[in-house]
Amino acid sequence: MPLFSSRRPRPASGEQTVSVSDRPAPRRWGRWLLAILIVGTLHWSAMRWIERARLPSNETPQEKPLVQIELLTPKPIAPPAPVPKKPAPPKPAAAPKPQPAPVLSAVTKQPDAPAATSGVAASAPAQTAAASAPAPAPAPASQPAPAQAASGDKFSVPPSGELRYDTLVNGVMNQTGTIHWSNDGQHYEMVVSIPLPFVGPYVYSSKGHIDGFGIAPEQYSEQRGRRAADVAIFNRETKQIVHTKTPQSQPLADGAQDRFSVVMQLASLVRGNPDKYRPGVTRQFSVADNDSNEIWPIETIGDESVQARGGFTTARHFTRLPRREGDRRKLDIWLAPSLGWLPVRILQTEPNGMQIELLWAGNLQQPATQQSTPEKAPESAPSGTADASDESAPSETHP
């Protein structure tokens, strides 16, 4: 007798017989759900691949050997050169009035008045000579002395504009970011909004005035998603930077910037004197964060071609050198002359390799609001810093 019989045992009397056809069919909804997930994932991957294939492709900046030509430190900006006044055109010489013809008559010469007689007699030829003599040439107008070369930095603040940028995280396109820039010649405001998926927008706000060192922040704030804003106040009366994130204050240096106003400060300096920023030239900026203050050395790399939504354009590449030993966070900025030296690309590389990028999303032509004429510094701007306003209003990716 085999161990495992192939015949089913007969049911006992009174036991209900159950056929195979009467059993419930196994549920197959799990298989259908798995198939739908696989198909959806494949479609999503294909769409992402097509989208990334259409994105602008720019090379990741590679570390280059430092060839330092000149180290620039903050100093007062140069006042605008005086405009020489044009000399007034010379007035036409007035025609001499006709003199009456002398009347000749016989005069008996008196012995006691020889001078008077000779004077009357001489007046006729003298007046005739005066009438025939040419009018004297007007004295030449005094020419203004040549202006002395200014010792400060040439500076031209970009005019107001609404700037749109594509935002990319590790090369993947996200929503469009914006930079609101307002400048009336004496005050400025800058608001940077970067949307991030699942987190919410990162909003960075900077506002202040323009003084003898250029852009002078009064308040800087960071707000990430739904978190409360962290604010830094630049108190120029006490020469201190106070933070809401930490009770410690930081010394305020002349020409100090925040993390985003430094971009416009750099653009203003390059607009004022582009030829000064040659490859290898490094400029130092004192930059305040939401809880600290440090020196940023920014080096000029050179002119490169950048591909944005509107095509290719030439831009000058700047990179921040390591701020301290072991600093692995990088910041690269490209300023385009076709945009009035506004940033066409900003790339931040985190220590873990993640990259956050802003890429110009408009036409690669100078916007209508952008003028290439340098802005004149306000006449009332002092040679140093001015008092800061007491206003304070709220407005983690650190560059």
Asked whether 210 and 157 are in contact (CB, 8 A), the reply is yes
What string of DSSP letters covers 125-168? HHHHHHHHSPPPPPPPPPPPPPPPPPSSB---PPPPEEEEEEEE
- Token pair for residue 322? 């390591």
Q: HSE-up of 110 (CA within 13 Å, CB side)? A: 5
The whole-chain average pLDDT of the chain stands at 74
The dihedral built from the CA positions of residue 59, 65, 68 and 74, taken in this order, carries a sign that is positive
284 vs 377: CA distance, rounded Å: 22
The mean pLDDT value for 227-238 works out to 91
Q: HSE-up of 379 (CA within 13 Å, CB side)? A: 1
For residue 59, give the amino acid letter.
E
Residue that the structure tokens 């202006």 belong to: 147
- DSSP state letter for 329: -
Q: Per residue in 180-224, pLDDT tens?
A: 999 999 999 999 998 887 888 899 999 999 999 999 999 999 998
Asked whether 216 and 236 are in contact (CB, 8 A), the reply is yes
123 vs 102: CA distance, rounded Å: 9
* Residue 75: strand, helix, or coil: coil
Number of CB atoms found within 10 A of residue 47's CB? 10
Instruction: For residue 296, list its beta bridge partners.
Output: 285
156 vs 337: CA distance, rounded Å: 13
Strands 71-72, 282-288: parallel, antiparallel or unpaired by DSSP? parallel
249 vs 99: CA distance, rounded Å: 87
The mean pLDDT value for 236-255 works out to 91
Instruction: For residue 105, list its beta bridge partners.
Output: none
- Token pair for residue 204? 């960075």
Strands 342-349, 282-288: parallel, antiparallel or unpaired by DSSP? unpaired
Number of CB atoms found within 10 A of residue 89's CB? 8
Give the confidence band of 380 by pLDDT, cuts at 50, 70, 90: very low
The mean pLDDT value for 149-153 works out to 59
Q: Per residue in 319-337, pLDDT tens?
A: 999 998 889 899 999 999 9
75 vs 210: CA distance, rounded Å: 14
Number of CB atoms found within 10 A of residue 302's CB? 12
Does the pLDDT of residue 91 top 60, yes or no? yes
Q: Per residue in 31-69, pLDDT tens?
A: 788 888 888 888 776 666 555 545 566 777 766 555 556
Query: Which residues are CB-neighbours of 93 under 8 A, at least 6 positions away?
Result: 135, 136, 138
